[in-house]
Chain A
Amino acid sequence: MATGALQIAGGRRAGWRKTLDTIPLHLFFIVAGVLWALPAIGLLLTSLRPVDLFTVSGWWTAISHPQELSITNYVHLFDSSLIATSFMNSLLIAVPATVIPVLCATLAAYAFTWLRFPGRTAMLLVLIALMVVPLQMALIPVAGIYGFISPPGIVRVFLFHAAFALPYATFLFRNFFIGIPHELLESARMDGANDARIFRRIILPLAYPAIASFAVFQFLWVWNDLLVGLVFAGSTPPVTVAILQQMRNFGSSVDVISAASFLSLIPPLILFFAFQRYFVQGLLAGSVKG
């Protein structure tokens, strides 16, 4: 990678020192990585153990007793035919709930960064403050609104999620745009471009890393949401609600939760990997000179 080459170029005068430098780094990451991964590994092992072992022994015993492991918990998840369709529902909810805020928030962030209008700072502060509104409080008032217009369940859910993502998304994009040098817009304006053009041609492409990091987490949060789906999805529930129906009323449902959480980990993880290329440093270094 370009990274490596530049590093070597810069450190040529102290080659062996650089290697010595990086050993602690690697050590750090090995230790940190293992420690950080342990609870997740524990969750994975728990999902592979039958439920009656749960109160008897800890999940680490599975390492020395591999015969205990089985995929029964995963198989049981599909006991209900609802699970398969609910995956589709979750997708139909999570995609619009990610795309809509990206569109609305990048537009709004552009305005907050480079367009002047009265009350700009105040509005921005209020918008950010709205991040604190707990979505439970909005359920009933919004339910009242939905009672009037009656959109289908899936639409109700993703509109709600899209709206609640806007404060954070706008904040994120706005603070990201601040770092983009004014010269770019200046030269574009002098070339005669209007705001819409600047937005589409210049700003949006530059914002891909921010959009990527937002999209990954927004998709994740919506994918894993339970409450909004439970209240609004009706007969087209997302995966989380469908899983709820697998949980016992009185017994511990650790087997269901752990297996379900790993299964539903897959789509957000795919998105995460797909967007990795936007997190590479220096990708956009060239555009600064332009």
Chain B
Amino acid sequence: MSTILPAVTPPVVEAERPSREARAPTPRFNRAAIGFLAPAAIFVGVFIIYPVIATVIRSLFNRTGETFVGLDNYLKVFTDSRTLHAIQNNIIWLLVFPIAVTGFGVLFAVLLERVPYRLVVRTILFTPMAVSLLASGVIWRIMYQQSPETGAMNAVIASVANAITHPGHYQGARPSQPDLIQPAGDGFRLAQTVAPGDVVHLGFIGFPASEIPAGAQDAKDPSAGAGRVVGVVWRDFVPGGGGQVGQVEPGKKGMPDMTVQLVDSKGSVAAQTQSDSAGDFSFPSSGSGPYHVVLPAQNFHPPFGGIQWLGSGLVTPAIILAAIWVWVGFATVTIGAGLATMSRDLLEAARVDGATEWQVFRRVTIPLLSPLLIVVFITLVINVLKIFDLVYTIAPGSVIPDANVIALQLYLVAFTGLGDFGIGSAIAVFLFLLVIPIMAANIRRFQGEG
């Protein structure tokens, strides 16, 4: 067993060097390479390299392709605030996405080896990409909807939020006479003070009749009570229109279960009561006043409105989350393939030698996986540069400037509206040039292994 160890341990470089000197010197140009490379070379040359050259040339011409404009398009690209913003967003993606997905991929791939139901989990991870990027984008768009009635994310938050602060009975209600009844915090207050013997009229509109509980009756104008403050709160709207504002009339329903308070001049609540089925309420005899009539916020508290996941601030993180959900399956399966070729005996040997799982993971698994991890990571990085489908599907048109990414900008410029292939080509060339620093950073890796 231990004879295998040196051969398969990470420094593959070391393994190669002794061999290289051991065998007969190989020619610097192995002619067999031509045969091996030819099929791929032809395909790549015709379908990728030729279009790249065509694109570079096209980027030097104007929108219709007739006039040579030199580097003009590139200038336009770099001075356009939309493109610059898109580049900024791509950088955010670059910092978060590849690490997160590779990390999750390694985590899942390694842990899954130890459970019998790994196929189930792998299938769950595989499904997001399998249903197509379009469908994945659509479902996340639905989940991110602001209304807690239709958007899953906000529905979850709403159920918690509404349990904490109960929505009021009469959400959305507002006074029919705003000069008489004014806002006070999230509730309302009669502008004029009252004293015992007064009759208070509180008319409200702006809410549907369906919010009034069943069993409510038409509002009744109460008669004054000696020494007491009485009043009525009613829906100041006749179904079908008509009627006068501020008047209690047939057809206008009372608003039961409305909490009404009498607040004295010091600000403390002197009395509190609830309106009845005709909207009438009366306070027990109490001091001489003057009092403010207050309808506290709890009557009107709106239900949780929902976080705007797809608003300017949150849209990019929201889309990145969706993208991670889609791509982890790819990382897990690909890394899983790498784990499949690893020798079990090697890991067992390390374990028997007393290494903990974590040490086995760090010292044996990761280094053996590293070439594959590089593939996954760089593929993800390049996919970040190209990311398009998810952004296009999830971001509403109004937040495109905030969610914009380079590939989307390319699409908008070259394929919609203006159809400026000159600028579009310049953006594509820019994308291609962006890859160079990434490749440069990894050159040593490649040469080390080569």
Contacts and interface: CB of A to CB of B under 8 A. Distances in A.
Interface of A: 1-4, 6-7, 10, 22, 25-26, 28-29, 32-33, 36-40, 42-43, 46, 54-60, 100, 103-105, 107-108, 110-111, 115-118, 120-121, 124-125, 127-134, 136-138, 140-142, 145, 159-160, 162-164, 166-168, 170-172, 175-176, 178-179, 181-183, 186, 189, 194-196, 199, 206, 209-210, 212-213, 216-217, 220, 224, 226, 240, 254, 257-258, 260-262, 264-265, 268-269, 272-273, 276, 278-285, 288-289
Given A107-B36, A117-B33, A133 B428 contact: yes
A188 B423 CA distance: 54
B55 interface: yes
Interface string B330-353: 100110111111111100100110
Nearest to A26: B115
A136 B414 CA distance: 10
Contacts of A254: 138, 142
Given A46-B139, A58-B151, A183-B7, A282 B127 contact: no
B224 interface: no
Contacts of B209: none
Nearest to A9: B348
A40 B428 contact: no
Contacts of B336: 213, 279
A179 B12 contact: yes
Given A33-B124, A175-B372, A138 B135 contact: no
A28 B7 CA distance: 35
**9 cross-chain pairs, A with B, having the tightest CB-CB distances, nearest first:** A163-B47, A261-B135, A138-B51, A224-B132, A209-B337, A111-B36, A108-B40, A175-B371, A282-B344
Given A130-B49, A137-B428, A285-B343, A60 B16 contact: no
B47 A283 contact: no
A132 B385 contact: yes
A95 B364 CA distance: 37
A220 B129 contact: yes
Given A116-B33, A129-B439, 11 more contacts: A33-B124, A57-B150, A116-B30, A121-B446, A132-B434, A163-B43, A163-B47, A166-B40, A176-B372, A181-B8, A283-B340
10 contacts: A40-B128, A118-B28, A120-B450, A121-B450, A137-B55, A138-B47, A141-B51, A264-B132, A281-B342, A283-B340
Contacts of B351: 10
Nearest to B386: A134
B381 to A, nearest CB: 9
A60 B152 contact: yes
Contact of A107 (B8, B40, B49, B122): B40
Interface of B is mostly: helix
A87 to B, nearest CB: 15
A40 B131 contact: yes
Contact of A279 (B15, B340, B439): B340
Interface stretch (B19-27, B163-171, B177-185, B259-267): B19-27
B341 A4 contact: no
B443 interface: yes
Interface string B364-384: 000010011011001100100
A65 to B, nearest CB: 14
Nearest to A182: B19
B121 A133 contact: no
Nearest to B369: A179
B435 interface: yes
A178 B371 contact: yes
B68 interface: no
Nearest to A252: B138
Contact of A178 (B12, B333, B340, B352): B12
B48 interface: yes
Given A134-B410, A186-B23, A258 B135 contact: yes
B436 interface: yes
Given A46-B139, A116-B26, A128-B439, A108 B36 contact: yes
B175 interface: no
B449 interface: yes
A179 B124 CA distance: 29
A116 B138 CA distance: 48
Contacts of B132: 224, 240, 261, 264
Interface string B306-334: 00000000000000000001001010011
Contact of B135 (A104, A120, A194, A257): A257
A172 B19 contact: no
B54 interface: yes
A39 B143 contact: yes
B37 A209 contact: no
Contacts of A57: 149-150
Interface in B391-450: 407, 410-411, 414-415, 421, 424-425, 428, 431-432, 434-436, 439, 443, 446-447, 449-450
